[in-house]
Amino acid sequence: MKKLLLAVSILCLSATLGLSQGVKFEEGTWAEVVAKAKAENKPIFVDLYATWCGPCKVMAKNTFTDNNVGNKFNASFISYRIDAEKGEGLTLVKKYPIKGYPTCIFVNPSDEKEIYRFMGARTPSELLEEANKALEKVKK
């Protein structure tokens, strides 16, 4: 009985830890992301990156995987990561012009207008500050 209880406890703990690990980025098209954001009444967070970009890789490895960042972003935004140099990423760059990588943009899903943006890598604590700035603009 003790072994069963221990096994269930470990399984529950593993599942809980797995759910809180980093930002959950949506898969699919921009239209699908916008529709989901409208349905959940959340702004969209867009990470426009390039595969060759060192700071983009650092954010993907160290910042977006942070539990505190994940908790904040998963609760407050619909997040979307896209390679800005191919496919639908090229269309988004025409809509939201960028000057470098990474560029992160917060978008209002109801009219797809930009709320806030920043360029360059951020640490987890810095990204949380950027998220708070975006959320303040959403309130106004």
Please give the positions annotated as active site: 53, 56
Give the closest residue to 23 by CA, choosing from 49, 53, 51, 52: 49
Alpha-carbon gap, residue 120 to 126, rounded angstroms:
11
Question: For the chain, how many helices (H) and strands (E)?
Answer: 6, 4
CB-based burial label for 137 (10 Å; 0-12, 13-18, 19+): middle
φ, ψ for residue 40, nearest 5 deg: -95, 0
- Give Dmax over CA atoms of the chain in angstroms: 61
